[in-house]
Amino acid sequence: MENKTYTVSIYTENNLGLLSRIAAIFLKRHINIESITASPSEVNDVMRFIIIVNVTEEQIKKIVGQIEKQIEVIKAFYHTDKETIFQETALYKIKSEDFLDDHNIQDFIKETNARIVTVTREFFVIEKTGKRHEVDHLYEVLKPYGLMQFVRSGTIAVTKNEMPISGILEKFNTTNSIS
């Protein structure tokens, strides 16, 4: 089986230590995490992790099984790129003089829908949100001008299909409620 990029979405309780518990599952299998983000989800008090890994489908199935087994994980899913809508954000800090003197960059930024976030006498900060290759492309364009700093976020993604988390939690509340 060939390696593919998979997006793992994990809905969890907001508990200390869960990040390392989930990361340990990858570490134990010697699998490198391409990116990881954690944020609140659409459900109150429920966190959502997005982890990107490059593995076989057989591997990702087993990993998701191990993740779901963790006590504070409500549900975990894996998806291919085709099944998700995903974005990354990057920030590029460049010297103001480079930026002001070169019309090519200005044009390029306009073309790529990048955004200027901050302007000072010394530097500009440009933000680009998009697919990995778009973010990387802008990086290549700006690199010759001497990037002062560059940072890229982890991938964030939503799935095309519905995520039945609210249903799962609802079921718990209705079948077990003690009020």
Partner 1 sequence: MEVKTASFERRTTEATTKVSGAEAVIKCLLEEGVDTIYGYPGGAIMPVYDELYKYQDKLHHVLTRHEQGATHAAQGYARVSGKVGVAVATSGPGATNLVTGIADAQIDSTPMVCITGQVGSHLLGSDAFQETDIVGISTPITKWNYQVTRAEEIPEVLAKAFYIARSGRPGPVLVDITKDAQFASLDFSYKKCSGIRSYKPFPEVNLLDVERAAEAINNAKKPMIVWGQGVILGGAESLLKEVVEKAGIPAAWTILGLSALPTKHPLNVGMVGMHGNYGPNMLTNECDVLIAIGMRFDDRVTGNLEHYARQAKVIHFEIDPAEVNKNVHADIPVLGNVKETLKLLLELLKPNKHEAWHQNFKDHYNIEFDKIIKNDLNAERGKIGMAEVMDEINKCSNGDAVIVSDVGQHQMVACRYSKFNQTRSNVTSGGLGTMGFALPAAIGAKMGAPKRDVVAIIGDGGYQMTIQELGTIFQTKVPVKIVVLNNGFLGMVRQWQQLFFDRRYASTEMTNPDFVTIAKGYHIKANQVTERAQLKDAVKEMMESEEAYFLEVKVEQEENVFPMIPTGAAVSEILLE
> Contact residues for partner 1 (CB under 8 A)?
12-17, 20-21, 24-25, 27-28, 45, 61-62, 65-66, 68-69, 71-74, 169, 172-173, 176-179
Q: At its nearest, how many Å lie between partner 1 and the CB of residue 6?
A: 17
Cβ proximity to partner 1: between 14 and 106 the closer is 14
Q: At its nearest, how many Å lie between partner 1 and the CB of residue 66?
A: 5
Cβ proximity to partner 1: between 71 and 151 the closer is 71
* C-alpha span between 121 and 107 (Å, rounded): 20
Cβ proximity to partner 1: between 151 and 178 the closer is 178
Measuring CA to CA, which residue among 94, 4, 16, 100 is closest to residue 54? 4
Q: Nearest 10 degrees: CA dihedral of 7, 92, 126, 42?
A: 30
Cβ proximity to partner 1: between 148 and 168 the closer is 168
Q: At its nearest, how many Å lie between partner 1 and the CB of residue 175?
A: 9
Cβ proximity to partner 1: between 33 and 91 the closer is 33
Q: At its nearest, how many Å lie between partner 1 and the CB of residue 52?
A: 21
Q: At its nearest, how many Å lie between partner 1 and the CB of residue 35?
A: 21
Question: Which residues are 36's β-sheet partners?
Answer: 51
- Give the 3-state secondary structure of 112-179: CCCEEEEECCCEEEEEEEECHHHHHHHHHHHHHHCEEEEEECCCEEEECCCCCHHHHHHHHHHHHCCC
